[in-house]
Amino acid sequence: MRVVPIRLGPGTDLRLGLEQLLVDRDEQAGCVISGIGSLSTACLRLAGGLEPTRMSGEFEILSLAGTLALNGAHLHLSIADGQGLVIGGHLCVGSLVRTTAELVVGVLPDWSFRREIDPATGFRELQIRQRQGMEPVDLPSLPSSP
């Protein structure tokens, strides 16, 4: 894994900025190790929701985690407003940096992540593959839930 620290400035779309990181470095897999900063607009898909919820104001990023693939990311974000109320969900396009976003990303050069429809869930789920020319690695298999 290569660690890549980045800073996104005011007005930058947080999700698009993270997704662009792989493209700019010609990589196929990554993960967010750490993310803090602030947002002026937050766009989150809340648990069980189908559409994003858009909020405007001054928000502090408390945590950011997830995976990055060339065809999409799966990122969870927790933010707090000026009263300390916390909300979290799936980070959607439209979440704009207020002052800064300080991010540490792990780039995984031996791996390829893709998001593909999983018939069991109906959602685009993470598919993990080893990149060609790399040493084979056995991935553990977990039992499915009933």
In a domain, residue 52? The reply is: yes
> In angstroms, rounded to a whole number, what is the distance separating the alpha carbons of residues 129 and 72?
15
In a domain, residue 141? The reply is: no
Number of domains in the chain: 1
Classify residue 84 by burial, with Cβ atoms within 10 Å: 0-12, 13-18, 19+: exposed
pLDDT in tens, 8-64: 999 999 999 999 999 999 999 999 999 999 999 999 999 999 999 999 999 999 999
> In angstroms, rounded to a whole number, what is the distance separating the alpha carbons of residues 86 and 88?
7
In a domain, residue 138? The reply is: no
Domain containing 118 — which CATH number? 3.30.1330.80
In a domain, residue 13? The reply is: yes
In a domain, residue 49? The reply is: yes
* Interacting residues of 111 by C-beta distance below 8 A, sequence separation 6+: 28, 29, 128, 129, 130, 131
In a domain, residue 140? The reply is: no
pLDDT in tens, 69-113: 999 999 999 999 999 999 999 999 999 999 999 999 999 999 999
Domain with 104, as residue range(s), is 2-130
> In angstroms, rounded to a whole number, what is the distance separating the alpha carbons of residues 18 and 13?
9
> In angstroms, rounded to a whole number, what is the distance separating the alpha carbons of residues 115 and 70?
9
In a domain, residue 79? The reply is: yes
In a domain, residue 144? The reply is: no
